[in-house]
Amino acid sequence: MNIHEYQAQNLLKEFNVPVPFGRVVFSGDDYQAILEALHFDKVCIKAQVHAGGRGAGHFKNDLGYGGVKIASSKKEALDVINSMIGNTLVTEQTGNGGKIVHKVYLAEPVQISQEYYAAILVDRDLRRPVLMLSTEGGIDIEAIADRSPEKLHKIIIEPSMGLTISQTKELADQIGLPMEQARELSDLLLQLYALFVAKDCSLIEINPLVLDKNGHFLAIDSKINFDDNALPRHPDIVKLRDVEEENPNEVEALQYNLNYIALGGNIACLVNGAGLAMATMDLIQYHGGQPANFLDIGGGANEEQITRAFRIILKNSNIRGIVVNIFGGIVKCNAVAQGIVNAAQTTSFSLPMVVRFEGTNVEEGKEVLKSSGLKITFANDLDDAANKIVNLCK
């Protein structure tokens, strides 16, 4: 799960990581009153969308600046807020469609003397958290890693030990900080790791982490992702979810306990079990096709959920065919078949569909589909199903 910058900044503050003063403004708030209450005149206005690269982005109704703008007066700030909210921001991470800005963050501008990059994430190959720090911040980290990998320092964290003071001190030494600042950076990184562990984060990224004109460290932009599997033990984090920012089909699927993820291809998949769903997508690709979604209806899906699932996959306008791959254990093939027929009756569709049923009530399931009048190609096994749907979608 992803959250907004303003929410991430609040979490950092809670964990004593220094951040500039800031407050969020929602569409429809009294912008003027909020601005007047600020204790500073210059205001940094930052579009709040679930995407990075805002500074270098642009608005669809072009404003001559991107999603991060420093206004030199409250009067100008009011103009900026009015122009950003409701406008669509396009950045490298939003895709061409961009994202509508519904809220902005007002931050006290910082006089920056140096920008750093700091991140903690889980390295899947090492199976450990790693802390990364670069003396070149503000810009995109992939570019730094490519161009000057020696500037990207990496500390591997042993989970049983946690991040240690000796590790952070050594890092601060390596980048040549004087003692006072080395201590400040070390404390800040230890706090970041405390947050990472306490909230089951999968990523904390501070870009940039800056040294201000007075020689103090401040996190001026942060991004935090959470491990979805740990969300049940963090109700406070779950409350931060902003469904407006998420794919509406994915949000709807979640309501029915379906695990759906939209992808870029054109072959829709309806499968039970995450492993089988992955295998189905692999075989579609193996036969030259591209899956339009990942969908795991779960181990015990009922007819109602399957009807919902089918409607959700049909909402993707790119799809040219559907493959249904069910290995009936607790899930009954005839319930899946009935769910498909229900959905098909209420949503007129004429796309090719390949069905592979195996397991509980397989014959009854096939019978339901055959007598429904829907045009269906049956497949003998998983590979056959993938092959057939790819050919039908060519």
Contacting residues for 355 by C-beta, under 8 A, at least 6 apart: 323, 324, 326, 366, 369, 376, 377, 378, 379, 385
263 binds ligand GDP (CB under 6 A): no
Residue 55 near ligand GDP by CB under 6 A: yes
Residue 6 designated active-site: no
Tell me the two tokens of residue 100. Answer: 């509508």
Binding to ligand GDP by residue 107, rule CB under 6 A? yes
How many amino acids of this chain bind ligand GDP (CB under 6 A)? 18
Part of the chain binding ligand GDP (CB under 6 A), chosen from 104-112, 144-152, 159-167, 325-333: 104-112
Q: How far is the CB of 51 from ligand GDP (least distance, A)?
A: 8
- The residue within the footprint of Mn ion, chosen from 221, 222, 273, 376 (CB under 5 A), is 221
Binding status of residue 4 toward ligand GDP by CB under 6 A: no
**Which residue's C-beta sits nearest to Mn ion?**
221
| Sign of the alpha-carbon dihedral angle for 211, 214, 217, 220 | negative
Check residue 5 for interaction with Mn ion (CB under 5 A). no
Is 109 a binding residue for ligand GDP by CB under 6 A? The answer is yes
Q: Is the distance from CB of 104 to CB of 47 less than 8 angstroms?
A: yes
Is 31 assigned a catalytic role? no
Q: From the CB of 52, what's the least distance to Mn ion, in Å?
A: 6
User: 115, 205, 256, 260: which one is catalytic?
Assistant: 205
**Using CA atoms, how far apart are residues 193 and 68, in angstroms rounded to an integer?**
27
Q: Does 162 bind ligand GDP (CB under 6 A)?
A: no
Which backbone phi and psi does 358 adopt, to 5 degrees? Answer: -145, 150
Judged by CB, which is closer to ligand GDP: 220, or 240?
220
What is the spatial distance between Cα 64 and Cα 263, in angstroms, rounded to a whole number? 33
Q: Decide if residue 98 touches ligand GDP (CB under 6 A).
A: no
Please provide the DSSP assignment of 66-107 as one string: -SEEEESSHHHHHHHHHHHTTSEEE-TTT-TT-EE--EEEEE
Report DSSP state, residue 218: E
Structure tokens at 133: 């720090």
Give the H/E segment covering residue 274.
helix 274-286
Question: Closest distance between ligand GDP and the C-beta of residue 202, in Å?
Answer: 19
Q: Three-class SS of residue 222?
A: strand
Q: Which tokens is 26 given? A: 């929602």
Our CB check for ligand GDP shows the closer of 38 and 278 to be: 38
What crossing angle do the helices spanning 303-314 and 333-346 adopt, rounded to 10°? 50
- Report in angstroms how near the CB of residue 228 gets to ligand GDP at its nearest: 23
- Measured from the CB atom, the residue of 54 and 311 that comes closer to ligand GDP is 54
The nearer residue to ligand GDP, 113 or 257, going by C-beta atoms, is 113
Which of 116, 117, 193, 256 is the catalytic position?
117
CB count in 10 Å sphere of residue 245: 17
> Minimum distance from CB of 88 to ligand GDP (Å)?
15
User: How far apart are alpha carbons 244 and 246 in whole angstroms?
Assistant: 6
Does position 138 bind ligand GDP by CB under 6 A? yes
For the bound state, the minimum distance from the C-beta of residue 221 to ligand GDP, rounded and expressed in Å, comes to 3
User: Which residues here bind ligand GDP, judged by CB under 6 A?
Assistant: 44, 46, 52-56, 68, 70, 107, 109-110, 112, 138, 207-208, 220-221
Q: What is the set of active-site residues? A: 117, 205
User: Which residues here bind Mn ion, judged by CB under 5 A?
Assistant: 207, 221
